[in-house]
Amino acid sequence: MKRSLFSRRVTVALVAAGLSLAACSSGGDTGGDSPGPFAVWDPYPQFDGTSEWAKVIEKCGAEAGVKVERQAYDTSDLTNKVLLAAQQGTAPNVLVVDNPVVSTLAEGGVLKANQDTGLDASQASSNLVAAGEVGGKTYGVPIGANTLALYYNKAVLAQVGVDPASLTDWASLDAAMAKVAGAGKKGITFSAIGTEEGSFQFLPWFWGAGAQLTDLSSSQAVAAVELWKSWLDEGYAPNSVVGNTQTTSWQEFATGEYAFAENGTWQLGNAAKLGFEYGVIPIPSRDGGVAPAPTGGEFVTVPVQGQADREATAAKIAACLTGADTVLATDTALTYVSAIESVRQQQVAAKPELTVWVEAVQAAKGRTGDGLGTRYPRISQPLWGAVQAVLTGSKPAADALKDAQAAAASAK
């Protein structure tokens, strides 16, 4: 989720730009017989030209027989620049883009389908590929994934005699937090802010209750938001969660006062700097098992260029960037769990502590999956509004979610 905050403005920008593109020429095309440089755009400005990621791009370009020119932008910046470039006919040859944006760009005609370019996503796990499936076609290949799990403070749980391995459903998690609170510590911190970040953190509990995004007012959905509300009512979670980002909730966990924090793989670097020992367990489903958490991470895609030969070369670069022989170093640098099972096994062999994250990714779901595509942001916004209303006490859960479902159904 660190690089996966989906915005409704993507859809709005597409409509405003009038984008339904039959063809566009790449900004990297210089004309004539020379293939010209191939533009690769990505959302990783934190990696400069000396990084492992930049070296992989150069290698993949060389293997495809072309020179590549990389441009890196912040996630929101990248989406806006791609929309403008597509409108002007200067889209990059290869685009690495946030996974929830793929369906919107595909429906707007900005991306080429894998079936048309020869790009193959079959090595990647189907639950991750689903975020790039639109109208029976697949657009791009996931480069890796991050997702959510529960970090825990080993000392806090040991103090109250809770075995983390026993926390396999909501009841056992609640019982653990009751013991923690009884010992004068705090139960859990998370992000319930009124943005996509809040929806992202709520979805494991929503899906873990058996709820579906097509029915926000179901009894399962009510149970999920009532679970979060009960944590505030019992004092297990602080009232600050309604304004917490994932960063601020992590800062709360770092105080050492909390037993649990819901957060993602992107915090592993910070976790190593904590002043206490920590562990990680999957988020449990209501009645047991691992809850599906939403996937974060990017897809490597081929934008429409109107030239089959350049699109085919771009697909070769994209295939190299997402291939099993390439992605291990890249996914490690990005703190991603690989989309490819064989590479995940290598990651776990090198770092056994990644086992729980692999388990979480294997159970994860794309937010735009289940055929939702561009409908997702019209569902997510009422959902996070409902959660906020319940947590602040302005509405009971059933009423808030009934209103959310009506808003989602009427949104255009």
**Which H, E and C letters describe 31-60, residue by residue?**
CCCCCCCEEEEECCCCCCCCCHHHHHHHHH
Mean pLDDT of 289-310: 93
- pLDDT tens-digit series, residues 132-184: 999 899 999 999 999 999 999 999 999 999 999 999 999 999 999 999 999 99
Question: What pLDDT score does 269 carry?
Answer: 87
Q: Are 251 and 257 in contact (CB under 8 A)?
A: no
pLDDT score, position 329 = 84
pLDDT value of position 9 = 47
Query: Dihedral angle at the C-alpha atoms of 339, 48, 5, 192, nearest 10 degrees?
Result: 100
- Inform me whether the pLDDT recorded for 58 exceeds 50: yes
List own/partner pairs for 237-240 with CB under 8 A and 24 or more apart.
237/186, 237/187, 237/188, 237/189, 237/190, 238/186, 238/189, 240/189
Which pLDDT belongs to residue 32?
A: 41
pLDDT of 24 reads 42
Q: What are phi and psi of 263, to 5 degrees?
A: -160, -175
For the chain, what are the domain ranges? 9-144+297-363, 148-293+372-410
Q: Say yes or no: domain 148-293+372-410 is CATH 3.40.50.300.
A: no
In the chain, what's the furthest Cα-to-Cα distance? Answer: 75
pLDDT at 369 over 90: no
pLDDT at 348: 93
| pLDDT tens digits along 197-241 | 999 999 999 999 999 999 999 999 999 999 999 999 999 999 999
pLDDT-based confidence at residue 77 (cuts at 50, 70, 90): confident
Radius of gyration of the chain (CA): 22
Task: Indicate the pLDDT class of residue 35, thresholds 50, 70 and 90.
Answer: low
- Listed residue (131, 17, 138, 38) closest to 81, CA to CA: 17
Burial of 270 (0-12, 13-18, 19+ CB in 10 A): middle
Average pLDDT along the chain? 90
pLDDT in the model for residue 15? 42
- Distance, first Cα to last Cα, the chain: 26
Distance CA 277, CA 271 (A): 9
d(CA 355, CA 362): 11
pLDDT surpasses 70 at 412: no
Using alpha carbons only, what angle is made at residue 294 by residues 290 and 297, rounded to the nearest 5 degrees? 125
Tally of CB atoms within 10 A around 88: 12
219 membership: H or E segment, kind and range: helix 219-233
pTM of the model: 0.84
Task: Write down the pLDDT at residue 411.
Answer: 79
Give yes or no for residue 31 having a pLDDT over 80: no
The answer, yes or no, to whether residue 57 has pLDDT greater than 70, is yes
Percent of the chain exceeding pLDDT 90 equals: 78
Model confidence at 1, pLDDT cuts 50, 70, 90, reads low
Task: Output DSSP code: residue 147.
Answer: -
Q: 20 falls in which pLDDT band (50, 70, 90)?
A: very low
The per-residue pLDDT for 306 is: 87
State the pLDDT at residue 157: 98
Q: Is the pLDDT of residue 390 over 50?
A: yes
**Strands 68-72 and 38-42, bridge-based pairing:** parallel
CB atoms closer than 10 angstroms to residue 237: 28
Q: How confident is the model at residue 7 (pLDDT cuts 50, 70, 90)?
A: very low
> How many percent of the chain have pLDDT more than 70?
91
Q: 148-293+372-410: same fold as 9-144+297-363? A: yes
Element at 264 (helix H, strand E): strand 258-264
The CATH architecture to which 9-144+297-363 belongs is 3-Layer(aba) Sandwich (3.40)
Residue 22: predicted pLDDT: 37
